[in-house]
Amino acid sequence: MKNADVIIAGAGPAGLMLAIELSLAGVRPLVLERHPNRRDTPKAGGLGGQILELLRYRGLLERFQAACPGPAPAPRFPFGGVHLDFTRLADPPLHALPLPQQHLERLLDERAGELGVDVHRGHEVTGVNQDDAGVRVDVRGPDGPYRVSARYLVGCDGARSRVRDWAGIGFPGTVYPEVNRLAQVTLTDEVTVLGNGDLDVPGFGVIRAGFTRTDHGLFGLGSSPGAPSVSLYTIEDETTDYDDDVPMTLTELQDSMRRVLGVHLPLAGSTRLSRFTFKARQAERYRAGRILLAGDAAHLFPATGVALNAGLLDAVNLAWKLAADLHGRAPDGLLDTYHAERHLAGARTMLHTRAQVALRRGHDAAAEALREMVQELLTDEQPLRRMGSMIAGADIRYPMPGPNPHPLAGTFAPDLPLHTGQGTTRVAELLHPARPVLLDLADRADLREAARAWGQRVDVHTARTDRRPSDALLIRPDAHVAWAASVDEPADTAVPALHEALSTWLGTP
* β-strands 291-293, 287-288 pairing: antiparallel
Confidence of residue 225 (pLDDT cuts 50, 70, 90): low
- Say which amino acid occupies 339: H
Q: Which helix (H) or strand (E) holds 17?
A: helix 13-24
What local confidence, expressed as pLDDT, does residue 282 receive?
A: 98
279, burial (CB in 10 Å: exposed 0-12, middle 13-18, buried 19+): middle
Which residues make Cβ contacts (< 8 Å) with residue 344, sequence separation at least 6?
396, 398, 399
pLDDT tens digits for 170-191? Answer: 999 999 888 989 888 999 989 9
Describe the crossing of helices 336-361 and 381-392 by its angle, rounded to 10 degrees: 130
Which residues make Cβ contacts (< 8 Å) with residue 452, sequence separation at least 6?
none
Identify whether the C-beta of residue 486 lies closer than 8 Å to the C-beta of residue 468: no
Q: Which of 158-167, 191-200, 277-286 has the lowest mean pLDDT?
A: 191-200
* β-strands 144-155, 291-293 pairing: parallel
- The rounded distance, in Å, linking the Cα atoms of 289 and 155 is 13
Q: Tell me the whole-structure pTM to 2 decimals.
A: 0.91
Identify whether the C-beta of residue 3 lies closer than 8 Å to the C-beta of residue 150: yes
- The rounded distance, in Å, linking the Cα atoms of 237 and 253 is 15
* β-strands 205-207, 199-201 pairing: antiparallel
Residue 91 has pLDDT above 90, yes or no: yes
Long-range CB pairs of 101-104, under 8 A, 24+ apart, other chains included: 101/13, 101/42, 101/43, 101/44, 101/45, 101/308, 102/38, 102/39, 102/40, 102/41, 102/42, 102/43, 103/67, 103/68, 103/69, 104/13, 104/44, 104/47, 104/64, 104/308
- The rounded distance, in Å, linking the Cα atoms of 161 and 173 is 15
What local confidence, expressed as pLDDT, does residue 370 receive?
A: 94
Identify whether the C-beta of residue 305 lies closer than 8 Å to the C-beta of residue 97: no
Domain ranges in the chain are 4-171+283-392, 176-278, 417-506
Taking alpha carbons only, the member of 221, 214, 254, 220 closest to residue 237 is 214
What local confidence, expressed as pLDDT, does residue 381 receive?
A: 96
* β-strands 29-33, 4-9 pairing: parallel
- The rounded distance, in Å, linking the Cα atoms of 232 and 408 is 41
297 Rama class: left (phi>0) / alpha (psi -120 to 50) / beta: alpha
Q: Which CATH class is domain 176-278?
A: alpha beta
Helix (H, G, I), strand (E, B) or coil at 508: coil
What local confidence, expressed as pLDDT, does residue 41 receive?
A: 66
What local confidence, expressed as pLDDT, does residue 11 receive?
A: 97
Helix (H, G, I), strand (E, B) or coil at 211: strand
What local confidence, expressed as pLDDT, does residue 359 receive?
A: 92
Residue 83 has pLDDT above 90, yes or no: no
Q: Which of 229-243, 280-294, 357-371, 435-449 has the lowest mean pLDDT?
A: 229-243
Q: Which helix (H) or strand (E) holds 13?
A: helix 13-24
Residue 332 has pLDDT above 80, yes or no: yes
Residue 259 has pLDDT above 70, yes or no: yes
Confidence of residue 238 (pLDDT cuts 50, 70, 90): confident
- The rounded distance, in Å, linking the Cα atoms of 447 and 202 is 72
Q: Identify the CATH homologous superfamily for domain 4-171+283-392.
A: FAD/NAD(P)-binding domain (3.50.50.60)
- Mean pLDDT, the chain, integer: 93
Q: Which residues, listed in sequence order, are joined to residue 213 by a DSSP beta bridge?
A: 218
Residue 348 has pLDDT above 90, yes or no: yes
Residue 411 has pLDDT above 70, yes or no: yes
Dihedral of the CA atoms 368, 369, 372, 378 (nearest 10)? Answer: -120
10 Å Cβ neighbour count for 119?
A: 20
What local confidence, expressed as pLDDT, does residue 224 receive?
A: 65
Considering only CA atoms, give the Rg of the chain: 24
- The rounded distance, in Å, linking the Cα atoms of 281 and 347 is 10
Backbone angles phi, psi at 76, to 5 degrees: -125, 135
Q: Which residues, listed in sequence order, are joined to residue 475 by a DSSP beta bridge?
A: 437, 481
Q: What is the DSSP string of 439-462?
A: EESS--HHHHHHTGGGTTT-EEEE
Q: Which residues, listed in sequence order, are joined to residue 178 by a DSSP beta bridge?
A: 237
Confidence of residue 321 (pLDDT cuts 50, 70, 90): very high
The DSSP symbol for 479 reads: S
What local confidence, expressed as pLDDT, does residue 246 receive?
A: 79
Taking alpha carbons only, the member of 287, 437, 285, 316 closest to residue 52 is 316
Q: What is the DSSP string of 67-103?
A: T-SSPPPPSEEEETTEEEE-TT-SS-S--EE---HHH
414, burial (CB in 10 Å: exposed 0-12, middle 13-18, buried 19+): middle
Looking at the chain, the whole-number percentage of residues with pLDDT higher than 70 is 98
Query: CA geometry: angle at 304 spanning 336 and 307, to 5°?
Result: 20
Identify whether the C-beta of residue 380 lies closer than 8 Å to the C-beta of residue 332: no
**E strands present in 115-161:** 118-121, 124-130, 135-141, 144-155
- Fold classified for 417-506: Glutaredoxin (3.40.30)
Q: Do the domains 176-278 and 417-506 sit in the same CATH topology, yes or no?
A: no
Residue 36 has pLDDT above 80, yes or no: yes
- The rounded distance, in Å, linking the Cα atoms of 209 and 259 is 18
